[in-house]
Structure formats: C-alpha cells, structure tokens
Amino acid sequence: MIRKLFHRVFRRGSVLPSGQSVKNAALIPLARHGIHRESVSPGARRTCEALQKASYTAYVVGGAVRDLIAGIVPKDYDIATSATPEQVRSLFRRSRIIGRRFQIVHVMQGSETLEVSTFRAAHDADTAKDEHGRVLRDNVFGTMAEDAARRDFTVNALYYDPTTQIVHDYHHGVADLKQKTLRMIGEPTVRYREDPVRMLRAVRLSAKLGLTLDPAVRAPIREMAGLMENVPVARVFDEMLKLLFSGHAVECVKRLRDDGLHHGLLPLLDVILEQPMGEKFVLLALASTDARVKAGKSLSPGYLFATLLWHEVLANWENRKARRELPTPALYEAMDEVLDQQGEKLAITRRIAGDIKEIWALQPRFDKRAGKSPHRLLEQPRFRAAYDFLALRAESGEIDQELADWWHEFQMADLAEREAMLLPDSGPKKRRRRRVKKPADGLANVNDAPDAAESRASDEV
C-alpha cells in the first residue's frame, strides 16, 4: 500500500494527456528568447534562488515567461519547483499553503505575492473526476516533464531559470508564440472536459497575444460550450474578470461572437448583446475599460458589471412602470431581480453587488436639476462612478447628451455658477398651514375671535 502511494505521488513516467511519450525539453538560450534576468521581478528571482540554494529545482513558469517573450510586462509571477508545499512553506517565513483541489504556496516577497506550485503529474485513470470528465483533485506530484505535459497550451509550458537565463521548452511553445498560433497540449476535447474554463482561456489568450487558434483547439468549443454549466460559479466569475480586465475585452467578445461562442461561455452577455441598445452600450463600456487598462488606471468590477447588466435592469424597470408600479420601488425591485438571476451563474460578491446598485440607484436623480437636489447628489460617495455611467448612457444614445453636458459643467463650476445653472423648480408647491397665535393667558381676544375661527376652518379644509 505504501509503495502504491509513493508510486502515485512521485511517478517516474512522463506521459502526455494524449498518451504520447514526452521528449526532453529544448533548451532555448537568451539570444533566442530575449528574457534578461533583470526583466524578471526581484521577488521571483529571490524565490527561485532560495529554492535552488536548498537543492530544489525552481523556475519562473507559464504566463510570465510567455508575456516576457512577447514583450508584455507580466502582472504576476508563478514559480514551479520540485519542492513539496510543506518544504516550500518551511523555507519562507512569509508564506502560506492555500487550495484544496490544487494546493499551492503563496510566498510574500516585499509587496509581491508569488504563487509557488510543486511539479504535477499527468492525469491518469486514478485521477478524481466528475461524470463530465472535470478534474476534481490535482495534488499528485511528479516530474518537470509531467508538469509541462499537464499544462493547457504550449505557450504556457515554458520554464525560465533566472540563474542560467535558459528557457526549458517541452512542447515547442516558443516556436508557436513566434508563429502566432495557440495550440493545445494533448487532445483538446479531453483537455476541455478536464477543465471547461480552458475554452474561455483560449479566447482570452488569443485576443491578448494576437494568436490564431489552432483548428483542433477551435473546432470543439461550439459543441462543448455547455460544459461551462458544470464549473463552479466562483471560477466562472474569476475567469470573466480576467477576460474583461485583460485590456482586450472588445476583441475577446468579438472573437466569441464570430463563432457564436458567447452563448453558454459568457452567460452574462447572452441576452445583453442581442438587445437593441444593449450591444452599443456594452461595447462602449468594454472599450472604455480597455483604455483604462492600457493607461494603467484603476478598475472597478462594480462599475463594469453595472454597465453590462444595465439594459436588463432598464427593460425590467420599464415593464414594472407599465404595470403602474411606483418608479422608485420598481427600480429597486428590478435591480434585485436581475442580480438574483445572474447570481445563479456568476458569484458576484455582496460588496460588488452593493456598488452596482448604488450606481444604478443614482441614475434617476440626475434628472433633478432644481433646488438642493443637484448639490446633494454631488456629495454622494459614488457620484463620480454614477456620472461616468451617465456619460456612457448619453454616448450610446440612450439619453440626451445635453443632460450629461449639464452635469459635467455643474460639477466643475464654483458655488455661484452652480446656483445660476439651476433650473426653475416646476414641481408642485407645498401649501403651508397657517399657525394660530394664542394669547399669553390662553383666552382669545374678542376682536380676534372671528379671525381665529376662520383660521381653524381653513386649517380643517
């Protein structure tokens, strides 16, 4: 039994998911890949050096290597090593083991957080899977060659050693990257069943890197898109954020739609992109998000999801008002219903949902441009996000541009200029009740009695 356990945890065989034997890695020198060690983050270099000093192998792996070769600054760094999670944890004081299905170690180096994972073995008959073929547990450790074999795309199976500045390439990933082709390691249909999220990842990476999907990678997606329904909603939400905040969201959506792949893969966009005004509004929102990513500006998931779901809310709100529901309660009911529906497919957190609802709830208040209402609206914490949302509505043609322009000028003006900009209050005037002044001794003066009686009668009316 112990021998079987060791065989499963540290297997010697190096087998591809398709059953082919793994060959030795090609060693790509600096002159060919162009990654200088100085371009790798200090935290990643220190982590690899510490592991290597402790007699373990360690490499910068995956997306960071791919992006560096493509001339893109990586957002984060992953490290692959021969050390087990417990061994990694013992080497770094500021570290912690996380995950169940896929156990990794978070190592903190200054302000950086590095994800350090142990080499994984290729999947076999003993791998725990659900009835659809999705892998449920993936903590069987193996060799570096096996680890490369179980990665999804060839461009992600690249291992860079900061010490020697050599890239270890098992599946011709560097060549595929140079040739602008995204190829799968192993049989695509099997790999999609193991993890359906790979379909989303294929679209995101091809858009980000300007790659063409290999026909074998692209062909099964349409018929296998339904497998996304078996993925936990939290993972779908996480992948959606990566896609929408990739800086290439417009291109991603375009590629999904070209082949009808947005149905099932992105449930959030299924209905929205088919609404008369929704498509233009969503594409403008995604283009704005792409511009913010490229400019290095901050991003708000709440704002983005508010734009994606707005026309769902708008349609629901109009239906409720047509049934003679009061406008404000109808809006809140519409917001709750749409968020509840999406909550079944996407794990939108309570905090993000709160931000979304604040932006939506402020929209009707922009119509009030008289009295104290505009001043009070400026004081709202979410005013800026709500105003940007209003400007997007105007740009898409949903509302008159004049309203957005007025609010732009109003927030930039000083107090005197703001007062001059206010529109006349055309609302109904409240009738103030006349107070009857009583004499100090509590007795009405004889001469005042008729007036007092008349005042009481007026009040009763």
CA dihedral 215, 218, 222, 224 (to 10 degrees): 110
The answer to whether the CB of 141 falls within 8 A of the CB of 10 is yes
Catalytic residue among 67, 138, 152, 290: 152
Catalytic residue among 76, 130, 400, 451: 76
Three-state DSSP class for 152? coil
User: CA 185 to CA 216: how far, in whole Å?
Assistant: 11
The answer to whether the CB of 190 falls within 8 A of the CB of 18 is yes
User: CA 98 to CA 108: how far, in whole Å?
Assistant: 13
User: CA 129 to CA 251: how far, in whole Å?
Assistant: 33
Catalytic site includes residue 152: yes
Tally of CB atoms within 10 A around 26 = 15
Catalytic residue among 78, 147, 214, 355: 78
The answer to whether the CB of 378 falls within 8 A of the CB of 422 is no
Catalytic site includes residue 161: no
The answer to whether the CB of 159 falls within 8 A of the CB of 148 is yes
Indicate the pairing of strand 104-109 with strand 95-98: antiparallel
Beta bridge partners of 112: 109
Phi-psi region of 180 (alpha: psi -120 to 50; beta: other; left: phi over 0): left
Beta bridge partners of 160: 60, 167
Q: Residue 226: phi, psi to the nearest 5?
A: -65, -20
Active site residues: 76, 78, 152
